[in-house]
Amino acid sequence: MWQTAKSRGRRALRVGPDFEKQWPGAESSATEVIINLGRAGEKVGTLVAQTVRPYGIPSTTALIVLEVLAGADTALTPSELADRSFVTRPTLSGVFDTLQRRGLIERTADTHDKRSARLSITPAGRDVLERALTELHQAETRWCRDLSAAQRTALVRALALIPNEDGTAEEGP
């Protein structure tokens, strides 16, 4: 079903020549965009995780948690953090435990709701995040080195046109 096409030594997944006959109403180029976008997302996720893991940040989800907490004006409830990070609470629960064990976040009792906790980043967590982000942002530059500034801008604009789960598109730059 899939074919590969080389570009600068890299392979893009392509559909076969009879794809649109086999799947009436489908467009080969749309399917190729989506499968290659998914593949690129997986690659980037792996690269990000490999870059931050040596700093004690176990996953991209943990990185997102630390970034959200670092940018918050106050400690957040797990629900607030889930809303800001676009990650589900059940997924975050194990991440919170790991980050707390590593001393990167702390949980305190919520003064308004004793059943809930508030999460905040620790000074050690801020230090780890700062060092990891320094390396990560340098790596991002390397990963995008074959794209011109104009191509990067065009890619960001194009990605904003892909609809959200509810069918709406993001506001583009």
Domain membership flag for residue 167: no
> Which DSSP string corresponds to 100-148?
HHTTSEEEEE-SS-TT-EEEEE-HHHHHHHHHHHHHHHHHHHHHTTTS-
Res 6: pLDDT: 47
Domain membership flag for residue 22: no
Q: By the 8 A CB rule, do 118 and 107 touch? A: yes
Distance of CA 34 to the CA centre of its chain: 17
Domain membership flag for residue 13: no
CATH value at residue 145: 1.10.10.10
In the chain (173 residues long), the average pLDDT of successive 10-residue segments reads 53 91 95 94 95 96 96 92 87 92 93 85 98 97 96 94 78 54
Domain count, the chain: 1
Angle at 94 (CA atoms; ends 89, 164), nearest 5 degrees: 35
Q: Which residues contact 170 (CB under 8 A, 6 or more apart)?
A: 160, 164
Burial class (CB in 10 A: 0-12, 13-18, 19+), 104: buried
Res 38: pLDDT: 93
Residue 162 φ/ψ, nearest 5 degrees: -75, 125
Domain membership flag for residue 130: yes
Domain membership flag for residue 15: no
Domain membership flag for residue 6: no
Return d(Cα 69, Cα 56) in angstroms, integer.
16
Res 24: pLDDT: 94
Domain membership flag for residue 144: yes
Domain membership flag for residue 9: no
Domain of 144 in residue numbering reads as 33-159
Half-sphere exposure of 19 (CA within 13 A, CB side): 14
